[in-house]
Amino acid sequence: MIPVRGFENATVAVLGLGRSGLTAARALHAGGAHVVVWDDGAKGREGGEAEGFEVRDLTREGALDGVATLVTSPGIPHLYPAPHPAIRAAWEAGVAVDNDIGLFFRSLGHDGEAPRVVCITGSNGKSTTSALLHHVLAQAGRQAHLAGNIGRGVLDLDPLGEADIVVLELSSYQTDLARSLTPDVCVFTNLSPDHLDRHGGPGGYFAAKRRLFAEGGPERAVIGVDENEGRYLANQMSEAPGDDRVIRVSLGKLSGPGWQVTARKGWLAEMRKGRQVASVDLRDIPGLPGRHNHQNACCAWAAARTLGLAPREIEAGLRSYPGLPHRSQRIAERAGVTFVNDSKATNVDAAAQALQAFKRIRWICGGLMKEGGLESLQPHFGTVAKAYVIGREAAAFAVALGPDIEAEVCTDMAVAVARAASEAEAGDVVLLAPAAASFDQYDNFEKRGEDFAACVTALDI
């Protein structure tokens, strides 16, 4: 555990007692703070009390008297659609509001030399890019740690030294509020509409991502430039056309003298000062199928290069990467039919990428539709032989897919898997890529993916 510094003998309040909240409370206590905690749920409060923390209703008048800082969990709204009452009370009392990411950066270097920190954000691909970079570093013999929105809670890491490299996946919920951000390398994968209610619209969502770069002041920035927001951010971060502090990443062709990593038709190419310095054929790497994973590979490649790895080291790591659960994860192959779990495709952009990764698809989709509808998926229906729709509102979801795709309302996963498998032919891919949130039927996307895998295992083929 990393003890949080700067609050010795001070009272710090922790709001929300999930994984990050409890870890923050422990780390604050380890650093000498007096910690009071609160959770809106009785189970969370019982967990805090069981660990010996003072449980205090932070929404009660006067509860924040004498409190130096309020540390909130990322899932708790602090601005949109409405601030939590305890956060509103902190504003009125003049109490600073922070999160575990801010505490982590605040505490770096207090016990010796600080590690190097790579922060990865974006709408899609940040989990795969983070896990892939961590794998590449570990395979190359570096002391790498994976944390943040993936892996361990950031404050749950063991004390770190200058030989360590921390790879942090950060969501917009985390970057939006952290009061201290001092990464060495920042990665922006891409941007598509998501979490708009939490950020008050697309501008607020992008601003939360941009904050990591603008306030973080990284030594190097790896930026996907296939959307306007990425191009804008790259322009903001660079001082001249050849400024190699910014590495532009694209699935198309880039020009200019700067540092670039692209993946066109499955070939990764690294360009510096107008010359190609490395290339890799990504098409035969089983853990990285499809264009979206080729973009992830480019981002991980660029970050690894900034950390001093040679092209041959990175290529070896890419080829040995096993993939992440629920992200283009190959579950099984039966009678020539491949079953792929991409339950993490919780929005239409991620689902569109999944639909482009395979040639003939039996598509399992559905769940809680997000803002914006499904129209942007329609150009990618050419690879879909048939859709099998799940979710409590499966019929409405099937209608929203439009008339250009055959869709069968299945409602539950077992029916969808059985129907898709029975109609699939050799060479087909049965793909779970929901294009929707999971909360109508599952606790999270992981549970949905696990159900898909269990249904595939239970098939009698």
Neighbours of 92 (CB within 10 A): 9
Bridge-based pairing of strands 361-365 and 384-390 is: parallel
Which amino acid belongs to residue 309? L
Is 346 among the annotated ligand-binding positions?
A: no
Tell me if 165 sits within 8 A of 307, measured CB to CB: yes
The H or E element that residue 387 is part of is strand 384-390
- What DSSP string runs through 191-247? --S-SHHHHTSHHHHHHHHHHHHHTT--SEEEEE-SSHHHHHHHHHH-SSTT-TTEE
For 11, the 3-state DSSP assignment is strand
| Residue showing tokens 């540390």 | 71
Distance of alpha carbon 336 from alpha carbon 425, whole angstroms: 7
Identity of the amino acid at 153: G
Place of tokens 């929105």: 149
Report the distance separating Cα 408 and Cα 410, nearest Å.
Answer: 6
Q: Is 126 annotated as a binding residue?
A: yes
CB 268 within 8 A of CB 294: yes
* 343 labelled ligand-binding: no
Q: What is the DSSP code (8-state) at residue 179?
A: S
**Cα 173 → chain centroid:** 11
Cβ atoms of residues 365 and 390 within 8 Å: yes
d(CA 158, CA 4): 12
- Alpha carbon 410 to its chain's center: 29
- Report the candidate in 257, 231, 311 with the shortest Cα–Cα distance to residue 279: 311
130 is in an annotated binding site: no
123 is annotated as contributing to ligand binding: yes
Q: Measured between alpha carbons, how far apart are the two ends of the chain, in Å?
A: 48
Cβ neighbour number for residue 425 with a 10 Å cutoff:
11
Mention every residue, 6+ apart, whose C-beta is less than 8 A from residue 146: 130, 131, 134, 152, 167, 169
Angle at CA 350, nearest 5°, toward 255 and 432? 140
Encoding tokens for residue 124?
Answer: 């899609």
Bridge-partner residues for 275, per DSSP? 272
Q: Which residues are annotated as a binding site?
A: 122-128
Q: Which residues are annotated as a binding site for ATP?
A: 122-128
